[in-house]
Structure 1
Amino acid sequence: MSLLSHHCRMLFNQSSNINSLKEEGYDIAVIEAFNPCTFLVMEKIGIPFIAFFPGIFENPESIGIPSPLSYVPVFGSYLTDHMNFFERVQNIFMFFLSRVVEKKVHSKFNDVIEENFPEGSRPSLSELYKKAELWITNTDFIIEFPRPLLPHVIYVGDFLSKSPKPVSQELEDFISESGQAGFIIVTLGSMIPSYPLIEFVQEMNGGLAKISQKVIWRYKQSDWPKEVKLAPNVKLMDWVPQNDLLGHPKVRLLVTHGGYNSLREAVYHGVPVLGIPLFGDQYDNLVRVKTKKFGTFIPPDQMKAELFANKIKQTIEDKSYKATAMHMSLIQRSQPFPPDQQILRWVEHIIQVGGANHLHPSSYQQPWYQQYLLDVILFLLLCVTVTCYLTVKVLRILITLLCSVRKEKTH
């Protein structure tokens, strides 16, 4: 976020770019919502916008989405939607920690706001998040846990997966050598084409050497450590046509870092998953994979050749993983409205009607203590306290009177 705020400051310093965007007179903008700077740019330009978030919401409370902590796990908690008592306690603590982290993130952009917006009309990021006409995210409840949403928060699901194309002859020849065992795909995402820890690579390579399947591993060949002898069943490639390979009839497993787009492609093609979460949202994503039972994962600090090989064999040989993946593929492919059509129709709707105020809840205008009914709770507690106090007072008076009457009769 420090780097993004630095980029944001540089962007605002290029006033000619900001001015040219103003002069274009756009009807609406669709912005990438992970970077807070995009909201500041929209506020500066002054046009309505739709926010697109790539994956699971990290702080849904910041845009007012109801998040009951009893069954909605906080991002980064690594919990499921079925929590026992102590996990619910953990979830509450994670909620308060997430609010602290969010404030820390927002503070990174304070200098940008002070430098580019006049005093008295300086926006806060929490206010700008609520100015989005729509929030669209490329998730749905196939992978994500069911939870309440607001009318202007749209889960469109996967819109990148598509029917596979034939792979190259080189890959087809390699795959054909696998026989009935088939092949697996190993890729840790575009951000880490080569893993820098040699010990980790050694363990992965040793585990792959113990399995009967052929392996297509996305790893930058020039970075392969010379001291590690590549397993004979492994083919290294600088880049792989992942969607096409996942659609191949001989694919048996995807070994992945747990990036959301990779998981969506695996679901689309009905391929089980073995995850190795490295950073960001990947651990949370793979917790959902394991809970939904179409795969499992190994924390990177537990990576050992024997464990890795056993997990691969278990995930391939246990047919329940494949059956679940195929059922999830059926759910995804039979969605009533294709994701790209949903996005198109919603954008057209917002432009046509001139905004989405009819979808925004009145909670956006309420202070936080009203949203959580703290003022009502305080009032009711006060009423109960006063009632109890008066009841005790009256009882004491009655008891005193009764005692005095008895004494007089006795006398």
Structure 2
Amino acid sequence: MKVILGILAYKLNDRVTDLQAPLVREAFGAEFPPLKQLAKNISLFFLNSNKFLEFARPISNKIVYIGGITDEWKKMTKLDEEFRSILNNSRSGTVLFSFGTVANTRTLGESLRRTLLRTFSQFPDYEFIWKLDGESAKNESELIKATPNVHTFEWVPQNAILRHPKLRAFITHCGQNSLAEAAKIGVPIVAIPMFADQLYNAVLAKHRGMAVHVDIRQLITDKTGKVLGTALSRVLHDASFRANAKLIRKKIALSPFGAKEQLVRWVEFAAEFPHLNELNLPTDAELGWVAYYSIDAILFSIGAIFLAILALFLMLRMAFRRILAMANSRNKVEKRKERTKNE
């Protein structure tokens, strides 16, 4: 299945590249090199992800992980008195709920927002800081007032809140930057992915034992708040989630080379040696798509399995026929003896 999806992705990418080519030449001139050739000549690929979060897999030496680089460049935002008061005065701790800057909380719908508030009210010992747009907060103002442990803001200093010692959990859409910040700081997650890479990121966080994954579709249909309540209760009360998050934080912190150092050193190296052809993997153009996707090896394996099954079938059929022949022969001998005896 992965091979089939890989081939489809390859064909789709090939088609999109062909469609982009005229637009690129129109914008940059007819002499602009083909996009495929340009991609082949790229010196390095920087990925905003962390190798301690990603699944282990064979990759090109041109790929450099710099997950958390934005966190390293962020200046530590000092918390306002209002945020400090909420965090410091919370009895059991505080939960941050934010879907980042891209996902608009208005798209959640009134019914879901009310379910979320109902869920938060079930945790009276915890304070909830919720990044909620002004219009939604206004529409739900009466219900928010009736839920004293929920505090809504149109903007929150996410990084600074995540670093506060009384922050107990992070309810997030699991965008790349949010996941990188939570991993680097060591905060357990309730992941509610909505689209794009968020689904993959949520699976990564769950796989590393630092998150509970909540399906947005179940959340929408659940009117009681049980789905989110169960997930949040697990993250808050099961110490393994925080322990795993802290372990990932420690690995990232003690990694021999930080994201910033990796970026600076590799950029300087690429500036000195623009063409790092020694790091190139064989491309589909050089190998052909049959060899590139190991179709020949797969067909050989399928053929070998088919021949083995066929040989087993023939052997069993031959054995069955021999057994049947022996049985028939024995019956004939017994019948002959019986006739001789009767005569």
TM-score by length of 1: 0.64
The answer to whether the 8 A contact 1:193-1:238 is kept is no
Q: State the Cα distance separating 1:106 from its structure 2 match.
A: 3.1
Helix, strand or coil for the counterpart of 1:316?
A: helix
Whether 2:148 is the aligned partner of 1:232: answer yes
Q: State the Cα distance separating 1:357 from its structure 2 match.
A: 2.1
Whether 2:76 is the aligned partner of 1:155: answer no
CA distance in 1, matches of 2:16, 2:158: 34
Tell me the alpha carbon deviations over residues 208-255 of structure 1, each in whole angstroms, 9 at most, x when there is no partner.
121131011111123335256113211111111111111101000000
Unaligned stretches of 5+ residues in structure 1? 1-88, 380-411
Picking from 100, 110, 119, the partner of 1:207 is: 119
Picking from 339, 359, 362, the partner of 2:279 is: 359
CA distance in 1, matches of 2:149, 2:82: 15
Whether 2:131 is the aligned partner of 1:218: answer yes
Q: State the Cα distance separating 1:356 from its structure 2 match.
A: 1.5
Alignment of 1:131-146 (within 5 A): 131-146=41-56
Whether 2:87 is the aligned partner of 1:171: answer no
Picking from 287, 294, 298, the partner of 2:210 is: 294
- 1:256 aligns with 172
2:186 maps to amino acid: G
The answer to whether the 8 A contact 1:274-1:297 is kept is yes
- 2:243 aligns with 323
Q: State the Cα distance separating 1:369 from its structure 2 match.
A: 3.8
The answer to whether the 8 A contact 1:164-1:248 is kept is no
- 2:17 aligns with 106
Q: State the Cα distance separating 1:164 from its structure 2 match.
A: 5.0
Q: State the Cα distance separating 1:325 from its structure 2 match.
A: 0.4
The answer to whether the 8 A contact 1:152-1:359 is kept is yes
Tell me the alpha carbon deviations over residues 131-167 of structure 1, each in whole angstroms, 9 at most, x when there is no partner.
2111111212211101112222212332122585541
- 2:100 aligns with 189
Q: State the Cα distance separating 1:359 from its structure 2 match.
A: 2.2
1:275 maps to amino acid: A
The answer to whether the 8 A contact 1:271-1:322 is kept is yes
Q: Which has the larger radius of gyration?
A: 2
Unaligned stretches of 5+ residues in structure 2? 301-343
Alignment of 1:8-407 (within 5 A): 89=1, 91-103=2-14, 105-106=16-17, 108-113=19-24, 115-116=26-27, 124-162=34-72, 164-179=76-91, 181-196=92-107, 197-211=109-123, 212-224=125-137, 226=139, 229-230=143-144, 231-303=147-219, 304=222, 305-363=225-283, 365-372=286-293
Q: State the Cα distance separating 1:175 from its structure 2 match.
A: 1.9
The answer to whether the 8 A contact 1:193-1:218 is kept is no
Q: State the Cα distance separating 1:349 from its structure 2 match.
A: 1.1
Tell me which protein shows more helix as a share of its residues: 2
CA distance in 2, matches of 1:223, 1:104: 42
1:351 maps to amino acid: A
CA distance in 2, matches of 1:355, 1:324: 40
2:255 maps to amino acid: Q
2:136 maps to amino acid: D
CA distance in 2, matches of 1:282, 1:353: 35
CA distance in 2, matches of 1:122, 1:165: 44
Q: 1:375 to 1:301 in 2, by over 3 A?
A: closer
Q: State the Cα distance separating 1:295 from its structure 2 match.
A: 0.6
The answer to whether the 8 A contact 1:164-1:245 is kept is no
Q: State the Cα distance separating 1:123 from its structure 2 match.
A: 5.0
The answer to whether the 8 A contact 1:207-1:307 is kept is no
Aligned residue pair count: 291
Q: 1:378 to 1:250 in 2, by over 3 A?
A: closer
Helix, strand or coil for the counterpart of 2:70?
A: coil
Tell me how large the CA RMSD over aligned residues is. Answer: 2.9
Q: 1:100 to 1:224 in 2, by over 3 A?
A: farther
Helix, strand or coil for the counterpart of 1:151?
A: coil
